[in-house]
A and B are shown apart, each in its own frame.
Chain A
Amino acid sequence: AQSVTQLGSHVSVSEGALVLLRCNYSSSVPPYLFWYVQYPNQGLQLLLKYTTGATLVKGINGFEAEFKKSETSFHLTKPSAHMSDAAEYFCAVRRPNSGYALNFGKGTSLLVTP
């Protein structure tokens, strides 16, 4: 079954530092992969997605992710963290045979310190 594992439930970075949030996937078919962000008391917002084509995907707010099939990874990065990036981040993979429903990871809470 399609699933994702997020490494690290909490990540802390200094403002201006590199953000790296890790996600590994398991899939029996070429995966569709997603990163969502959730701010407190809000719904999830799509950051970026990989379906086919270019393996380096750019998203909103300066985030990007690279699909690496050999490593079964889809890590999320941002060169310079901003205080407003503090939120919960979820990696997700499309469920098999169900259109576009998603299986989510457990999430990584990003803390940005001054």
Chain B
Amino acid sequence: EAGVAQSPRYKIIEKRQSVAFWCNPISGHATLYWYQQILGQGPKLLIQFQNNGVVDDSQLPKDRFSAERLKGVDSTLKIQPAKLEDSAVYLCASSLLGQGAAGTDTQYFGPGTRLTVL
């Protein structure tokens, strides 16, 4: 089956500019996640969607970051305006089941978008 797709793979912008990332999860996966991975650190959850509803956005800097999941499938993550500290790899992941589902669930990660803010 096709994996999680992300675009673009690389993006370079100047501070105060805007940027958007796109994610297409594995077909049929109910849950979608955006993580931020700063160089030398582990990924940090930004937002989790189940279908098109937000489950967890407690770590999303809402003054500059926004995300949506259109029709419960694709998702976009936007940063406006960008700061130097936003330089990171933005990872999208998806999983089949939703919150509270019995048993276990596996997250499948896309290749990420590497953002450099100058």
Chain A positions within 8 Å of B, measured between CB atoms, are 32, 36, 41-46, 49, 51, 90, 92, 95, 98-107
Main secondary structure of the interface of B (DSSP, over half): loop
Chain B interface residue number, banded:
20 to 34
Closest B residue to A92 using CB positions: B42
Residues of A within 8 A of B55 (CB): 98-99, 101
Central interface residue in A46, A99, A106, by most chain B CB within 10 Å: A99
* B56 at the binding interface (Cβ < 8 Å): yes
Residues of B within 8 A of A45 (CB): 109
Main secondary structure of the interface of A (DSSP, over half): loop
Closest B residue to A96 using CB positions: B56
With A41-B111, A43-B91, A51-B104 in contact, do A99 and B40 touch (Cβ < 8 Å)? no
A–B pairs, 21, beta carbons within 8 Å: A41-B111, A43-B93, A44-B93, A45-B109, A49-B104, A49-B106, A98-B55, A98-B56, A99-B31, A99-B48, A99-B98, A99-B100, A99-B101, A99-B105, A100-B99, A100-B107, A101-B48, A101-B55, A102-B107, A105-B42, A106-B42
